[in-house]
Amino acid sequence: MLATERRELICKIVNEKKRVRVSELSRRLHTTEATVRRDLSELQNEKKVLRTHGGAVSVSFKADKKKEQRQEEKRRAYRAMAEAVYSFLREGDTLLLDGSESVLELCGLLKTGKKRGITVVTNSFQVVESLKDGDLVLIHVGGNVNSGSCISVGTIAENVIRSLRVNKAIFSVQGVEPRYGCSVLDFAEASMKHVMMESAEQVFVLAEHSSFSSEYLAKVTDSLEGVDYLITDCHTPKLDYTPYSKKVKLVTAL
């Protein structure tokens, strides 16, 4: 087998398996480990594989690994914020929920937790799917379906919510700034969240740490007005949280 053919085969094996050891390549190619190491060095110089201790990984492996780590960090953040807001719930509470990732984590706690007599009102089909077998009262508000997001918005949904009075509204936002307030990307969602606030005795806003000091086009509320609790996953270094804590009860989950 020519060196070029052997290296092409090494590339194919590494890309298929994502991670492979020198000993395995040596066995499969019927060549010495020293030859495999030289081939891997050449392939790394050509940026076709990445050398590791005792083997190699595909070029995409490192990026995929980082992506998985970021996703896992986000899942931990969503879970932590959900656990924080769950601690404020009481038996018999009526809740208004959106369909954000943190709220979907909260749904899992509502199903497995010991707090009984909960009523959930939502505009999210994912929340309905998550809680449909739960020991609680579940109400979907109807309305126009927002394409691609599995939620309903618009006049019908908002009028249903306006006709209700709940104990707690719980939703997420993309941006939080003490003077500008809470904001999201979509005008219809912003309007829906604002109506949720007006119909609730207490308002819990969930925001990842990266959302702080961010402003988006669609404003939910001015200057954090009407927000009772602002729940985040962790603090961002060098960010002054004093302007936030002066306006709302700031809860850090992690």
User: In this predicted structure, what is the pLDDT of residue 246?
Assistant: 94
Residue 73 belongs to some domain of the structure = no
Distance (Å, whole) CA 215 – CA 223: 11
Summarize pLDDT for 81-119 with one digit per residue, the tens: 999 999 999 999 999 999 999 999 999 999 999 999 999
Output the six-digit token pair for 206.
């969930």
Q: Which residue has the tokens 């019908």?
A: 156
Number of domains present in the structure of the chain:
2
Identify the CA nearest to 202 among candidates 223, 229, 174: 229
- Confidence (pTM): 0.78
**Ramachandran angles phi, psi of 148, nearest 5°:** 85, -5
Summarize pLDDT for 14-53 with one digit per residue, the tens: 888 888 999 998 999 889 999 999 989 998 899 888 898 8
User: In this predicted structure, what is the pLDDT of residue 116?
Assistant: 95
Are 92 and 211 in a shared domain? yes
Are 197 and 108 in a shared domain? yes
User: In this predicted structure, what is the pLDDT of residue 200?
Assistant: 98
Domain membership of residue 14 as a residue range: 3-62
For residue 37, what is the domain's CATH number?
Answer: 1.10.10.10
For residue 241, what is the domain's CATH number?
Answer: 3.40.50.10470
Are 20 and 138 in a shared domain? no
